[in-house]
A = this chain, B = another copy of it.
């Protein structure tokens, strides 16, 4: 059992599902967020309200930790200036602090939006070149490259989880891109328990019949998702509007992020259900 884990973005939707399983994998889970409340704590969990964009706030929390699970960021498209602190500098702070405190590994919530302008029909693998769809995706590219460099230059491991879409399935794209909460937990568990990972990338997607990405080269991580969005296909497709074949959001991995104007919110119109896990 690990001694200490640190989770950033603990108050977010994904964070809310990860806190309990993470708390069971270590003696102490330090959950952090920029908000001031994450609800009731699990037995060996403690909470710290910090701004990851400020090195001196986040760095000390990593002392003595084995790994950090970095899920904290603004989770939408915004003007570059707004993302610069939390999504760019915040990532730098995490990797640098992890290095300074001798952590073994960073597990990072990356995103399909780092490669969102690739076509769905290209079935990209984990070594496809970056092709971001938004400033949000650009921050994911930046953080992955940062992780690659800290491994090559300093021997700090990283697993970048390129999550496709982790939310209730309510549109045709999600039939391919869905990551169930159970599969998210398996994915994070594998990212932690695999003995050596170097610098690795793996797509966070369930075992969907229509999954448009290829995890083959991450095989050694042992992530084998169990859920399948095909259970929702009939209902979703019956209601779906005709596809607009000239819309990058239809043809590209990034979905709505691929068509949104740079700097404008992409999630506003996406009807994401906030089914955060209650604690």
Contact = CB atoms under 8 A, between A and B. Distances in A.
Contact of A138 (B84, B142, B216): B142
A200 B121 contact: yes
A153 B176 contact: no
Contacts of A248: 152
A123 B80 contact: no
Interface string A121-142: 1110001111111100110011
Among A121, A142, A148, residue most surrounded by chain B Cβ atoms (within 10 Å):
A121
A120 B155 contact: no
Contacts of A176: 220, 222
Nearest to A215: B123
Nearest to A196: B243
Contacts of A149: 117, 131-134, 137-138, 262
Contact of A219 (B92, B212, B223): B212
A108 interface: no
A148 B121 contact: no
Interface string A221-261: 11110000010010001101011011010110000000001
Interface in A179-223: 193-198, 200, 208-212, 214, 216-223
A111 to B, nearest CB: 14
A114 to B, nearest CB: 8
A145 interface: yes
A206 to B, nearest CB: 13
B243 A195 contact: yes
A159 B194 CA distance: 32
A251 B198 contact: yes
Contacts of A132: 145, 148-149
16 contacts: A1-B238, A104-B242, A121-B198, A121-B220, A123-B216, A130-B130, A130-B141, A131-B152, A132-B145, A138-B142, A142-B145, A195-B240, A195-B243, A196-B250, A198-B251, A209-B222
